[in-house]
């Protein structure tokens, strides 16, 4: 009795392991057919797969597994037994090398995993090109068909449980082509979830001296529940993967588009910026003070637009091509930071903000990429200035912790609430994105910062108190 239970458990375990070993729908159908005919599985003689096509509302013959003659039946079983003997030899070999306490668990894991491989092998050897497969591959059954026979598989699905069929059954009459292929009695198993039809599988015991009965129906009911669950998950997984691929593709198209448009904009903008500067400085001819004021504003706005366009180009190019050859070397961060400060000061418009590096002790050299570090500090300072009040103070502080240099950019500006703090690194995300927001920018600076840090071995932390200010800290390994 116990032995029978144990065998039952083993079969269940093997079937479940095999069903969960793939997310590929074709492989799963192969495993389903094999599990039905294998002596390690449900031990029917033959299994036939009719797959549902939701587009045309049809069932079509797809794959069959099992012998078509007495002789083939013997070969089929012998082959399976030979495989099992090989498997056992392998397990004995493993046993000799293993700690005794682990043997049972290890045995069954290896054997169940090997069974999945063995089953897929069986499909390739006995299923793909077999006469049985060929005999069903031309068959299609449609709900819209005129004759009742054509609606056979739909009727089986309506039943929602395995149906034992005998020739001359008049409850659900068997189509003559199916009757010709199948044994005197067979079971039709619908594989459907609550929301989806997948397939109908037919099984029989041809060439075996055993009738089909209630126990088989119970086993098949369990099996069809498991199979439909696994297929439903696989379909979901595949749909998700396809959606992810589409999104990635769209994202690349978007980045390419942004990059192309921005490149096109940059050239004329640079011309406007250059010429308006020359005109404003009176280098092309004398101008009145009013004209100078207006030209100065044109020049400032052109500079601002160039900055935005540069941000778009930078983020789009990193997203599509990565940041190219990253040259991580020993660098002294101070001169790089000073260059970034001077760039920010060049464009801090009319706001009076004090930017001050606080250097209490020697700042160590770090392992980083010079250009990336300059861009990162530039973006952090640019934000600190933008979100500070007039006369605000910005401090750049340094500290060392566990082999890393921490460079903090602290401001006393408007701050960011807790909820938004985790989202500000996303592209185009801005805390206040109303059209009338008083701050310029596109929501790209921090996204560029994060991409550059990830590519050059750095990290970033953000802390903030609304109304009090924000601190952005970047961390790079100290050069030793």
Residue ranges that bind ligand ADP, judged by CB under 6 A = 379, 383-384, 387, 411, 413-416, 424, 429-432, 441-447, 470
Please enumerate in sequence order all residues whose Cβ is within 8 A of that of 387, keeping only pairs 6 or more positions apart, or say none. 411, 413, 414, 415, 439, 470
* Closest distance to ligand ADP from the beta carbon of 448 (Å): 8
- For the beta sheet containing 469-477, the strands, ordered from the edge strand earlier in sequence to the opposite edge, are 354-358, 393-401, 404-411, 469-477, 459-465
Give me the least distance between CB of 430 and ligand ADP, in Å please.
3
Please state whether beta strands 404-411 and 393-401 pair in parallel, antiparallel, or not at all (unpaired): antiparallel
Nearest alpha-carbon partner for 201 in 36, 421, 419:
36
DSSP annotation of 389: P
Select 163 or 414, whichever has its Cβ closest to ligand ADP.
Answer: 414
> How many H-runs (helices) and E-runs (strands) does the chain carry?
13, 13
Distance CA 253, CA 255 (A): 6
| CB 152 within 8 Å of CB 186 | no
CB of 344 to ligand ADP, least distance (A): 12
Burial degree of 152 (CB within 10 A; 0-12, 13-18, 19+):
buried
- End-to-end CA distance of the chain, in Å? 70
Shortest CB 339 distance to ligand ADP, Å: 19
Q: Which is nearer to ligand ADP, 144 or 468 (CB)?
A: 468
Q: Alpha-carbon torsion 46, 63, 72, 10, what sign?
A: negative
Segment (H or E) for 123: none
Residue closer to ligand ADP by CB (options 9, 439) is 439
Cβ neighbours of residue 261 closer than 8 Å, sequence gap 6 or more: none
Q: Which helix (H) or strand (E) holds 476?
A: strand 469-477
Instruction: Pick the closer one to ligand ADP by CB: 223 or 425.
Output: 425
Nearer to ligand ADP, 141 or 387 (CB): 387
State in angstroms the smallest separation of the CB of 388 from ligand ADP. 8
Q: What is the number of other CB atoms lying within 10 angstroms of the CB of residue 103?
A: 13
Neighbouring C-alpha atoms within 13 Å toward the C-beta of 178: 33
Min dist. Cβ of residue 358 to ligand ADP (A)? 17
Looking at the Cβ atoms of 202 and 385, the one nearer to ligand ADP is 385
Q: How far is the CB of 330 from ligand ADP (least distance, A)?
A: 28
CB of 404 to ligand ADP, least distance (A): 22
Q: How far is the CB of 438 from ligand ADP (least distance, A)?
A: 11
- 64 vs 372, which CB is nearer to ligand ADP? 372
- 345's CB contacts (< 8 A; 6+ apart) are 355
Residue 475, strand partner residues: 406, 459
Of residues 333 and 441, the one with the C-beta less far from ligand ADP: 441
Residue 190 CA to residue 218 CA, distance in Å, equals: 13
- The smaller minimum CB distance to ligand ADP, of residues 35 and 376, is found at 376
Contact 58, 141 (CB under 8 A): yes
Q: Across the strands, what pairs with 411?
A: 394
Cβ of residue 474: shortest distance to ligand ADP, in angstroms? 13
Q: Which is nearer to ligand ADP, 201 or 315 (CB)?
A: 315
Helix (H, G, I), strand (E, B) or coil at 254: helix
């Amino acid at each position: 009795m116990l032995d029978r239970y144990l065998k039952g458990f083993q079969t269940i375990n093997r079937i479940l392991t095999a069903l969960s070993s793939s997310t590929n729908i074709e492989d799963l159908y192969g495993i389903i057919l094999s599990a039905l005919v294998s002596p390690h599985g449900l031990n029917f003689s033959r299994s036939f797969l009719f797959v549902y096509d939701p587009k045309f509302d049809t069932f079509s013959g797809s794959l069959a597994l099992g012998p078509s003659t007495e002789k083939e039946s013997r070969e089929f079983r012998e082959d399976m037994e030979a495989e099992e003997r090989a498997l056992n030899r392998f397990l004995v070999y493993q046993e000799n090398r293993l700690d005794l306490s682990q043997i049972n668990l290890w045995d069954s894991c290896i054997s169940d995993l090997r069974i999945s491989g063995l089953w897929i092998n069986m499909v390739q050897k006995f299923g793909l090109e077999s006469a049985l497969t060929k005999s069903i591959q031309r068959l299609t059954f449609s709900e819209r068909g005129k004759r009742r026979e054509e609606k056979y598989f739909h009727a089986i699905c309506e039943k929602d449980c395995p149906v034992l069929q005998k020739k001359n059954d008049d409850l659900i009459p068997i189509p003559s082509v199916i009757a010709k292929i199948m044994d005197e009695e067979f079971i039709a198993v619908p594989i459907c979830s609550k929301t989806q039809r997948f397939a109908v599988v037919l099984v029989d015991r041809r060439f075996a001296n055993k009738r089909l009965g209630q126990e088989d129906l119970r086993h098949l009911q369990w099996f069809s529940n498991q199979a439909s669950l696994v297929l439903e998950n696989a379909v979901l997984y595949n749909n998700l993967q396809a959606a992810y691929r589409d999104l990635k593709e769209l994202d690349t198209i978007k980045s390419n588009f942004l990059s192309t448009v921005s490149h096109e904009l940059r050239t004329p903008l640079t011309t406007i910026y250059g010429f308006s500067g020359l005109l404003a400085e009176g280098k092309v001819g004398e101008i009145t003070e009013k004209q100078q004021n207006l030209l100065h504003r044109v020049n400032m706005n052109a500079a601002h637009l160039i900055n935005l366009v540069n941000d778009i180009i930078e983020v789009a190019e990193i997203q599509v091509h990565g940041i190219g050859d990253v040259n991580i070397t020993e660098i002294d961060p101070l001169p790089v930071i000073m260059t970034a400060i001077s760039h920010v000061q060049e464009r801090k418009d009319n706001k009076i903000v004090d930017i001050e590096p606080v250097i209490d002790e020697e700042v160590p050299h770090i392992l980083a990429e010079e250009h990336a570090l300059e861009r990162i500090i530039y973006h952090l300072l640019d934000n600190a200035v933008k979100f500070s009040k007039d006369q605000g103070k910005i401090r750049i502080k340094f500290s060392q912790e566990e082999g890393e240099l921490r460079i903090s950019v602290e401001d006393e500006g408007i701050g960011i609430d807790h909820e938004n703090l985790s989202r500000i690194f996303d592209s185009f995300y801005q805390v206040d994105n109303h059209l009338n927001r008083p701050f310029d920018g596109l929501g790209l600076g921090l996204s560029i910062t994060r991409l550059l840090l990830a590519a050059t071995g750095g990290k970033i932390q953000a802390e903030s108190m609304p109304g009090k200010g924000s601190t952005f800290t970047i961390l790079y390994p100290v050069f030793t």
